[in-house]
Structure 1
Amino acid sequence: MKIKILTALAITLLVSCKTEKENSVKKEYNQELVDELTSMVEIDQIAAGVPSGKYKELTKEEWQSFKDSVFTVTHKKAAEIYNKYGFVGYDLAGKEGSKKFWLLVQHLDFDPDFQEAVLKKMKIEVENKNANPENYAYLLDRVQLNMGEKQVYGTQVLYNWKVCQAYPKPLIDSINVNKRRKEIGMELLGVYLNEMSKMHFEINKEIFSKVNITEPKLYELEN
């Protein structure tokens, strides 16, 4: 898949298109769906994180089996929801419910074709102000990388463990990344990377303490 990245991309996300508006039918709020998404996210967050609580007792094989089982069920249910409703927007599930559906799709990296299909529908909802443009940026970057392309907004990162510093995975047109981020309401990339570095340090503080790293290395930001 090749998604053409133009200067007007961020504007396209925020400006409504008449044809797409006509194709996007306002849906009635669905509490039952919201409850289902809430339940799915609770178990998804466990599987997407590091083993804690009773899950610490599992072997690596058992933990991997648990994760595979969770994401397989999530994939099946998310596909059923998508086939019935398209992308779950604010009108159908509120801002939190919409975010939960997006989050579930974010974690289905083993099926980038499904992620891409959801992304296309989500773009229409963003243009109709019925979905979050920042969340769209995260999913776009995820799809780009999963399809072997460079990301657009720099949301997906790696870490330099020697100094505890986050840095973006391959990024298209890095010179203008902050312009693109600003156009959809995101903070500067440096600010985001510093926050990710701090979080990485807190999660792995015990490991870093063994190699005398007492704080993350942060990027210097322009005033």
Structure 2
Amino acid sequence: MNKVIGIIIFSFIFLGCKEKNTDKNKPDLKTEFNQELADELERMVEIDQIVASNAFPPEKYSHLTQEKWELFKDSVYLKNQKRAKEILDEFGFVGFNLAGENGSRNFWLIAQHSDHNPEFQKEVLVEMKKEVDKQNAISTNYGLLVDRVNLNTGKAQVYGTQVTYNMNNGQAYPKKLADSLNVNKRRKSIGLEPIEEYLNGMTEMHFEMNKENYLKKGITKPILYETN
């Protein structure tokens, strides 16, 4: 359940992340916009979101057993990742200039959900950093992928974006995190809000999704961190 909640949360977060361009670091406008690629990425993410947001088969897939649903989910992630690898090899990381902000975000999301292949995720990070430095990709999403890759390869997070929950009270807290005292400086450098605000948002969402269970425990509202 926590894994599903985490996926939903990250899907929610990326919708609100936007990157500002400066005159000095504008994307290369010579790159021709690829509408066909943008449309393909949109279709890939549509099915990604169906499997990422449902622990059990939704109505459209109600004919599948739970075991077959899990196999279907794995097949979607694998198929999307293989296609994304082909795109990466041809174009590098998909930036705003190639497929628009939505297309760039969609490509990132597919990489974010390719946990079965952290080596591919690391390849994406290298290419994504180049585009982030040109303000041609979303820096906050780069931070999310950095943390995802670090955890997938046994390292500590840098930005604290990957969370889990205290199931006794529902409060979110970051998974393994390096240098927690300076995490807000690192978060600010890529445009993320202070970690206390972030964790409170995750806590509130988790509480609402599991409200009935927490009410049974006598917890009537989310337990939040103090913020400045």
Taking structure 1 as the reference length, the TM-score comes to 0.85
Partner of 1:31: 35
Describe the superposition over 1:22-62 as per-residue Cα deviations: whole angstroms up to 9, x where unpaired: xx895211010010000000100111112333345643202
1:6 alignment partner in structure 2: none
Which of 135, 150, 170 aligns to 1:129? It is: 135
1:45 equivalent to 2:85? Answer: no
Aligned counterparts of 1:195 and 1:221: Cα–Cα separation in 2: 12
Report whether the alignment pairs 1:78 with 2:87: no
2:33 is aligned with what amino acid? Y
Partner in structure 2 of residue 116 of structure 1: 122
Q: Secondary structure at the match of 2:220?
A: coil
Give the direction of change, closer, same or farther, for the CA distance of 1:59–1:204 in structure 2 (3 Å limit): farther
Deviation at 1:152, TM superposition (A): 0.4
Q: Who is 2:14 aligned against?
A: none
For the pair 1:172 / 2:178, whether they are aligned, the reply is: yes
Give the superposition deviation at 1:84: 1.0
The whole-number CA distance in structure 1 between the counterparts of 2:63 and 2:208 is 23
Deviation at 1:156, TM superposition (A): 0.4
Contact 2:29 2:97 in 1 (8 A): no
1:155 corresponds in structure 2 to 161
Distance in 1 between residues matched to 2:62 and 2:157, nearest whole Å = 34
Greater displacement, 140-149 / 196-205: 196-205
Q: 1:26 to 1:169 in 2, by over 3 A?
A: farther
After TM superposition, give the deviation of residue 204 of structure 1 in Å.
Answer: 2.0
Return 108-117 or 65-74, whichever deviates more. Answer: 65-74
Which digits, 9 at most, give the CA deviation of each residue in 1:55-82, with x for residues without a partner? 4564320220110111121111111111
CA RMSD of aligned residues (A): 2.0
Provide the identity percentage. 56
Distance 1:145 1:99, change over 3 A: same
SS at match of 2:33: coil
Give 5+ residue unaligned stretches, structure 2: 1-19
DSSP 3-state at the match of 1:115: helix
Match of 1:219 in 2: 225
| Alpha-carbon distance in 2 for matches of 1:148, 1:209 | 36
Give the Cα–Cα distance (whole angstroms) in 1 for the partners of residues 100 and 221 of structure 2.
38
Structure 1 runs of 4+ aligned residues shifted over 3 Å read 51-58
Residues of 1 paired with 2:84 and 2:149: CA distance? 17
The answer as to 2:103 corresponding to 1:97 is: yes
Q: SS where residue 216 of structure 1 aligns?
A: coil
